[in-house]
Structure 1
Amino acid sequence: FFLLQAFPGLPHAFLQIVHFPIAGIGIYMFLRERKTTFIPAIVSGIAFMFAPPIIAVIASGQAMKIISITYLPLVLWAATRFLRHQTWMNFAFAAVVCGLQLQVGHVQIALFTWMMLFLYLLFFLYALIREKNLKRTGILFISFLGLLLAAVCLGAVELFPLYEYLPHTTRGGFTLLTQHPEFVHSSFEQATQWSFSLKDFFTFFLPFLFGDTSGSIYLGSLPAGAFPNYSGILVLLLALVALIFRRKELLIVWLGTSVFLAFLLSLGKNFSFFYKLFYNNVPFFNSLHHPVAALVIVYFGLAALAGLGLQYLIYTIKKLLQEKKDLSQIARKVAIALYIVFGFACVLTILKGVLLNLVQNWNPDILLDANGLRLLRGQFEQFYADYWFMTMWICGGFLFFYYALKAKISRNGFALGILLIVIADLWHVDYKLNKTENPVDVKSLVENDPVLTQLKSDSTLFRVFPAGDYFNDTRLSAIGIQSLGGSHAARMQTFTEFIDRTGLATNYIQKFHPENDDQEEADSFTLQQQHEILAQHRMQQKLLSFLNVKYILSPQPLPEYGLTLETQTHKFMGDRYVPLLLYKNQSVLPRAFLVGKYALADSAETIPEKLTALLFEPDSTVLLEKKPQGNPQPDSSAVCEIRSYTPNRIDIKTEAKHDQILVLSDSYYKPGWSAFVDGRATEILRANHAFRAVYLPAGTHEVVFSFHSMAFTAGFYLSLFSIPMLIGCFYYGYRRAEIKSE
């Protein structure tokens, strides 16, 4: 997998297409090995592969997450196969599959997969202990540890750099600044922001009850629009059949327990006692965000249980027919259940107006809010649409079951009918989820947008600051423009602190254009307060200049203090068009420059105060944590030129009459970056809390910043070494099997 990623022209879409069938194949093989017949195993494979939450991950462009999810069933099949039949061939295959999932790099999905596998181990060990087979118990546990070690070795090329990087990010970073309660990024509250709730549980039955992806309306309890958790109503009912009628089987107990525990985990802060047991005790668990991601185990468990439930119904029909029992009573009960389900839907439809009035009378304030009333009626219409689809699928399932009991169709015909209903049900929801905008062509995107055209026409080295609502916009990255904003799963901790404590992300625009709730207070600002706001704006402009921000994107007009309006357009955000203004920063500093003065921070807690001081001039002074060598002095004739700038190497030429400090406004990351002055290694100083600086004596110098990760190198060679070892294990097992067969 790592080698596939190395091809620069290989799109993520291709990787998703290649891996997508693995999701269905894995669960199919998992059930077939447990003597499940063809059609029930196919139902499970399709139920997981085309589950709406899985399709929604693809539609949202989360390539690495979906690829990691596709490996989940294959990992569980291969690993449980090895634990049940401990051969060298099974060991090698399981280690390869587990290692490939780790190489994808989505640690959260991989961790949930291994937690489910560990639960399987516990159930297996319990069964062996009950049989008093202590010898095999010890061998099984050692085998599990060996498999885990082999998988980690194969995935080391991805895991080692992640382990090295994690402590420096918002998910695992800790500095003195993070003690401030307002800026705790790895706290329990931050980690559990995306927690599932019992309110959203209804989307397991009614997928679009709280809104859909066709608009910006979302009425659920998560921080933003979320995907429905619908896995198919027949899938859910068949899973219940397995849990009820096959509840004594160890496989069913394991799958049911996994689903239950994963559901509790997904609740996060809404069931904090349970979540904290893992958050405080399981390695790396406190670095994971989005507890709702644990629902992937629920989707897998429901799909697998559905196949096992369908298998039970097929077996039950066969057994009853073989015993030549009178099935008319059972068929009559099924028919009655069908009529009840359909009749209840009809009654609800007849009472639609009455129920709507009851809800409105229960909350009379909503009648005064036209928008709220519109949302309520829209939600009501969506409820009835979803409910009728659910009724239709359930009645279809009952109808096929009825005809199978009446011997009007064969058992395979019944199973095939259920399969067709599951496909139709999932297609209906998946189609709505996939009705997203057409894939964006980067070339046409730039040509049709005057702002992006302006940015792409600038060939210099610069950054863009997307202010206000545009801060998390990812379009700039899509066209290769460096931005201070955008979205990243694990930002550098110190950089995030710099952006937060200087107010760039929170009040750069807001101080001039407050929210409606603050407008009255803003209108009463005194002249002195207005002067303070302008002074703060000048301070922020200095910091943006230091950050090599040449352009600013804003949805609101800005005071043109050092700024000129270049062009403007509109962008569709949510359900409306908003202005997009492009300002050019006339005082932008180059990415690397020389200064002759420095200030020392008394402590980490004083850094934000000094950075935001009105007298701080980042173009001539740098804030350091330790005293540099020599005696830097201001030098107006000093020259600094970037000769080459690539992700892993930066070449700079400098010339000055006095000692200087070279400031580079790139993130300070000690584990990987090294600096060389005229070929000799030199210390990289932390500048302005989150960036880099190097002391330079007077004269002409060639400065090189070079990135080399020891963690990546060690992981690469360990993964490379693991490949022939696993091939050797497979060959050894193959030869042993041949000898035994002879």
Structure 2
Amino acid sequence: MKQNWLKAILPHLAAIGIFILLATVYCSPVLEGKIVNQSDMMNVKGMAKEARDFYEATGETPLWSNSMFSGMPTYVVYTGPGKNKLTIVNQLVTLGLPAPINMLFLAMISMYLLACILDFKYWIRVLGAIAFAFCSYNLILIDVGHVTKMYDIALMPAVLAGIILTYRGRLIGGAALTALATGLLIYNNHLQMIYYTLIMIICLVIGAFIHALKNKELPQFFKASVLLAFAGILAALPAMDSLLTTKEYADYTMRGSKSELTLGKEDAKENKSTGLDIDYAYEWSYGVPESFTLMIPGFVGNSSAQKLGTGSHVYEQMISLGAPAAQVEQYMDQMKFPLYYGAQERGTSGPVYVGAIICFLFILSLLVVSNWQKWWLLAVTVIGFILAWGKNFGFINDFLFYHLPLYNKFRAPSQALVLPSLTFVILACWALQEMANGKHSKEELLKKLKQATLISGGIVVVLGILGSMFWNFSSHSDATMLNYFGQMLGGEANAKLMIRALEKDRSSLLLKDSIRSLVFIAIAAGAIWAYLKGKLQWQPAAIIIVAAVTIDLVQVDRNYLGKDSFVDESVLLSQLSPSQADLQIKQDPDPYYRVFNLTTSPFDDAIPSYFHKNIGGYSPAKLWIYQDLITHQISKNNMHVLNMLNTKYFIVPDQKTGQPVAQRNPDANGNAWFVKGIVWAPDANTEMKTLDYLDTKDSAVVDKRFAKELGNGYQPAADSGATIKLTKYGLNSLEYASSNSQEGLGVFSEIYYPAGWNAYIDGKKTDIVRVNYALRGLKIPAGQHKIDLKFEPTTFFTGQKISSISSTVLVILVLGAFIFEIIAAGKKEEKQEPTSK
């Protein structure tokens, strides 16, 4: 029995070794202590800096931060260590490997697990694992720092594996695997990837139901479905500390709610969604023809910024215009050009390329696979493409955007290509399985192989090789490049010559990549043909295909996550070095004021948040009231509004040197102040328009909905010496001392957020009203008072209790289920041994 057990596990250990070796070799600079230069992770460091420092200094969970957008919850950034025990499991399943080796390994082992449950042959399992992990989109995600997204993509096959195992009758083990994989998926918390996983699950369940109905196995189907529903609930409960707060927070953000303003939004279509605006959500919609990047990586020019060598048409054109060769060579080595000419107007970091061989095998699967699971996989494939096309397939996607539950909370439709990226690999592996399982005649398989080769090769020849002569290679970026070349080369005529050279390089890239794809298709088709003809055994044929797929994908992936992507950590941290302006501002002993950095893109850059309490920042889920303030006031440099946000310093470029310099704003309103009058607004539009001219230090505008809290017709008063002073600063609480001989309205330079902020005057809770559209206001009695503002979100603390208990229960149940499966397998083997003898 022990020998059988060892014999059974050795191939899996070998596969794990292959995956670790491949991921480590690909990310070999990590062994030298280098890390990936991830642009988005630099933003994360800026976003989380104040919260991390607060936790390290106090040990208290940071729930609010003032380092971005004048204040927002830290739920989507950093809240310190959680109560979810799956944190430990998340480390265990990646064997504690360093990033990004751990992500690639997780993707491979997850897909390998699914391939095992689908009973694919050994080398097919290995091929599927490699092909799935090294899809170019995954490497692009790692390069830019979309870590949670990559983790969730990596876990998708494991979730499917658990569900399929359960429907096959392995109820305990399947449900346990489903609960664990889904729990980890939700723990990593990329909601858009979770949403796409749910789409796959729905398609799988529908497919399983139809299959059970046809085979009169509905009792077994319903029994498995009940267990899976229980597993899903059990998987979701440990993440309640984040899910509950995210849901609550979303109701106040661009993702989950709608601005009260209708200014400039007369188009009824734009107001139908309670989520994102459709135009904003549809940014990065994949073009319909662009989908052929899955087979030909350079089909629309790869990325929006890539280097061209000395053999390029751009290089030759610059030389022909008289530029010195040495100077042009240096320029070509430093400059990146926009070869991309696809439908995404804002450009792209690279294509979704699953591999020419995988696409060829996918086409073959359509001809040879008859298993019922083919149909739900095809449904997922079609859905993925349709969603990815976004505005380019508007007659369907517009309807889905407004009617499909939760769909309008997400942007960047191109991300839906993770669905066909997975299904293509599964079906490609299934095609190979059908080639090798001996269930079909060799003549029939040779016929199907020929058809698939002609179809896939024909696509490459017609769209790629012939297309390189006829496609329009103009790009959305050409107008910018025309202006750039015109300034550099002195005139529009020369600039147009450069644009034509750039178009020729795009055409050359398409031709080169098409020939390349054709070669890899030929290698795979040749290996299968040789096997079917008896010229090769299955194992060497399979190894040839695995090697070809690996070489194909790795060569393309190196364009996006190559050795140049890895840098010493010191180089990365140098991006967080303070400027002289930052150092000058930090000498101010005042513990709490805000800074507006105008030397960068202020609302798409969180690095200034690393140093200061920032007016700007970076977040895909800003509060709606603050986004409105940006759109209608801050972007128009309304100083009264900037003053009410306590903008004490501006960082601007020096007119002579261009270096950042600090400018102090003497008119900032401070942390809090009494106003002498209220302008009552009948609605949000009026409230915002009033801010166009309101002296925020003297008066406040209040929506009439808060008349009940303040009193109908209430007008505040303030003596000449009335003050509100900040006496203690913290992220979760602020303390003030007020002095006023009359009852007054205190305005606090704090963003209004009703889901957790409470106010106490001398220990007695009092109502917070929204003033100046985005700030907090309090009705303060006459005299001297101690005022506390405390962030006390009950949902967070309730979620933490649920998370702690349920994650412990989940881990115990999963361990118990796996032990049960091992014991049951051992007993089954013992019963079979005498028979085999």
TM-score bucket of the superposed structures, by smaller chain: 0.7 to 0.9
Q: Distance in 2 between matches of 1:717 and 1:326?
A: 60
SS of residue in 1 equivalent to 2:716: coil
Partner of 2:260: 176
Alpha-carbon deviation of 1:666? 2.4
The question of whether the paired residues in 1 share the 8 Å contact of 2:140 and 2:560 is answered with: yes
Moved more, 390-399 or 26-35: 390-399
Mapped pair 1:569 → 2:658: yes
Alpha-carbon RMSD across the aligned residues, in angstroms, is 3.9
Alpha-carbon deviation of 1:336? 11
Alpha-carbon deviation of 1:297? 1.0
Counterpart amino acid of residue 145 in structure 1: A
Counterpart amino acid of residue 155 in structure 2: Y
The question of whether the paired residues in 1 share the 8 Å contact of 2:578 and 2:611 is answered with: no
Partner of 1:722: 806
Partner of 2:105: 21
Q: CA offsets per residue over residues 312-331 of structure 1, 9 Å max, x none? A: 333469964xxxx899x989
Alpha-carbon deviation of 1:443? 5.0
Among 277, 281, 285, the alignment partner of 1:191 is 281
Among 178, 197, 208, the alignment partner of 1:124 is 208
Mapped pair 1:372 → 2:494: no
Alpha-carbon deviation of 1:26? 1.4
Mapped pair 1:494 → 2:625: yes
The question of whether the paired residues in 1 share the 8 Å contact of 2:760 and 2:787 is answered with: yes
Q: Residue 442 and residue 426 in structure 1: after superposition, are their counterparts in 2 closer, same or farther (change >3 A)?
A: closer
Partner of 1:512: none
Q: Residue 264 and residue 739 in structure 1: after superposition, are their counterparts in 2 closer, same or farther (change >3 A)?
A: closer
Alpha-carbon deviation of 1:655? 2.8
Q: Residue 445 and residue 194 in structure 1: after superposition, are their counterparts in 2 closer, same or farther (change >3 A)?
A: closer
Q: CA offsets per residue over residues 280-300 of structure 1, 9 Å max, x none? A: 444322222222221111111
The question of whether the paired residues in 2 share the 8 Å contact of 1:466 and 1:473 is answered with: no
Counterpart amino acid of residue 71 in structure 1: L
Mapped pair 1:585 → 2:665: yes
* Structure 1 unaligned regions, length at least 5: 509-539, 558-566, 571-579
Alpha-carbon deviation of 1:161? 0.9
Partner of 2:291: 201
Q: Residue 479 and residue 468 in structure 1: after superposition, are their counterparts in 2 closer, same or farther (change >3 A)?
A: closer
Counterpart amino acid of residue 639 in structure 2: Q
Partner of 2:179: 95
Q: Distance in 1 between matches of 2:579 and 2:169?
A: 60
Return the TM-score normalized by structure 2.
0.72
Counterpart amino acid of residue 596 in structure 2: F
Q: Distance in 1 between matches of 2:147 and 2:358?
A: 26
Q: Distance in 1 between matches of 2:99 and 2:795?
A: 25
Mapped pair 1:300 → 2:422: yes
Among 613, 628, 650, the alignment partner of 1:552 is 650
SS of residue in 2 equivalent to 1:155: helix
Alpha-carbon deviation of 1:463? 2.5
Among 703, 712, 726, the alignment partner of 1:642 is 726
Q: Residue 204 and residue 334 in structure 1: after superposition, are their counterparts in 2 closer, same or farther (change >3 A)?
A: closer
Q: Residue 377 and residue 471 in structure 1: after superposition, are their counterparts in 2 closer, same or farther (change >3 A)?
A: farther
Alpha-carbon deviation of 1:88? 3.6
Matches within 5 A, 1:507-546: 507-508=636-637, 540-546=638-644
Alpha-carbon deviation of 1:633? 1.9
Mapped pair 1:612 → 2:705: no
Mapped pair 1:395 → 2:522: yes
The question of whether the paired residues in 2 share the 8 Å contact of 1:662 and 1:694 is answered with: yes
The question of whether the paired residues in 2 share the 8 Å contact of 1:341 and 1:395 is answered with: no
Mapped pair 1:444 → 2:574: yes
Partner of 2:540: 413
Partner of 1:285: 407
Moved more, 727-736 or 657-666: 727-736
Partner of 1:518: none
Alpha-carbon deviation of 1:238? 1.3
Return the TM-score normalized by structure 1.
0.80
The question of whether the paired residues in 1 share the 8 Å contact of 2:178 and 2:228 is answered with: no
Among 340, 357, 366, the alignment partner of 1:243 is 366
Q: How many percent identity over aligned positions?
A: 21
Counterpart amino acid of residue 28 in structure 1: Y
Partner of 1:622: 700
Q: Distance in 2 between matches of 1:125 and 1:336?
A: 34
Q: Distance in 1 between matches of 2:175 and 2:432?
A: 31
Counterpart amino acid of residue 242 in structure 1: S
Alpha-carbon deviation of 1:200? 2.1
Alpha-carbon deviation of 1:606? 0.5
The question of whether the paired residues in 1 share the 8 Å contact of 2:367 and 2:448 is answered with: no
Partner of 2:132: 48
SS of residue in 2 equivalent to 1:644: strand
Partner of 2:680: 600
Q: Distance in 2 between matches of 1:596 and 1:163?
A: 38
Q: Distance in 2 between matches of 1:647 and 1:663?
A: 19
Counterpart amino acid of residue 444 in structure 1: S
Q: Residue 134 and residue 50 in structure 1: after superposition, are their counterparts in 2 closer, same or farther (change >3 A)?
A: closer
* Structure 2 unaligned regions, length at least 5: 1-80, 307-335, 483-491, 829-837
Among 471, 474, 480, the alignment partner of 2:602 is 471
SS of residue in 2 equivalent to 1:181: coil
Q: CA offsets per residue over residues 96-154 of structure 1, 9 Å max, x none? A: 32122112222111011011111111111111112233433433443343233222323
Q: Distance in 2 between matches of 1:333 and 1:279?
A: 41
Q: CA offsets per residue over residues 168-196 of structure 1, 9 Å max, x none? A: 11122234314751685733333333322
Counterpart amino acid of residue 416 in structure 1: I
SS of residue in 2 equivalent to 1:470: coil
Counterpart amino acid of residue 230 in structure 1: Y
Mapped pair 1:655 → 2:748: no
Among 68, 73, 95, the alignment partner of 2:152 is 68
Q: Residue 310 and residue 592 in structure 1: after superposition, are their counterparts in 2 closer, same or farther (change >3 A)?
A: farther
Among 126, 145, 169, the alignment partner of 2:229 is 145
Q: Residue 154 and residue 589 in structure 1: after superposition, are their counterparts in 2 closer, same or farther (change >3 A)?
A: same
Moved more, 708-717 or 36-45: 708-717
Alpha-carbon deviation of 1:61? 1.2
Matches within 5 A, 1:151-170: 151-170=235-254
Moved more, 580-589 or 224-233: 580-589
Partner of 1:536: none
Partner of 2:375: 253
Q: Residue 318 and residue 371 in structure 1: after superposition, are their counterparts in 2 closer, same or farther (change >3 A)?
A: same
Q: CA offsets per residue over residues 682-730 of structure 1, 9 Å max, x none? A: 1111011112122222333222211122222222222223234435644
Alpha-carbon deviation of 1:358? 10
Alpha-carbon deviation of 1:385? 3.2
Q: Residue 204 and residue 681 in structure 1: after superposition, are their counterparts in 2 closer, same or farther (change >3 A)?
A: same
Counterpart amino acid of residue 33 in structure 1: I
The question of whether the paired residues in 2 share the 8 Å contact of 1:104 and 1:158 is answered with: no
Q: Residue 472 and residue 337 in structure 1: after superposition, are their counterparts in 2 closer, same or farther (change >3 A)?
A: same
Partner of 1:533: none
Q: CA offsets per residue over residues 8-55 of structure 1, 9 Å max, x none? A: xx9x99676544422211111111112101111111111111111011
Q: CA offsets per residue over residues 514-559 of structure 1, 9 Å max, x none? A: xxxxxxxxxxxxxxxxxxxxxxxxxx122112112233345796xx
Q: Distance in 2 between matches of 1:260 and 1:603?
A: 45
Q: Distance in 2 between matches of 1:359 and 1:300?
A: 30
SS of residue in 2 equivalent to 1:433: coil
Alpha-carbon deviation of 1:334? 11
The question of whether the paired residues in 1 share the 8 Å contact of 2:262 and 2:685 is answered with: no
Mapped pair 1:82 → 2:166: yes
Mapped pair 1:427 → 2:549: no
Q: Distance in 1 between matches of 2:223 and 2:679?
A: 62
Q: Residue 314 and residue 551 in structure 1: after superposition, are their counterparts in 2 closer, same or farther (change >3 A)?
A: farther
Mapped pair 1:665 → 2:749: yes
Q: Residue 424 and residue 584 in structure 1: after superposition, are their counterparts in 2 closer, same or farther (change >3 A)?
A: farther
SS of residue in 1 equivalent to 2:558: helix
The question of whether the paired residues in 1 share the 8 Å contact of 2:387 and 2:413 is answered with: yes
Q: Distance in 1 between matches of 2:217 and 2:292?
A: 45
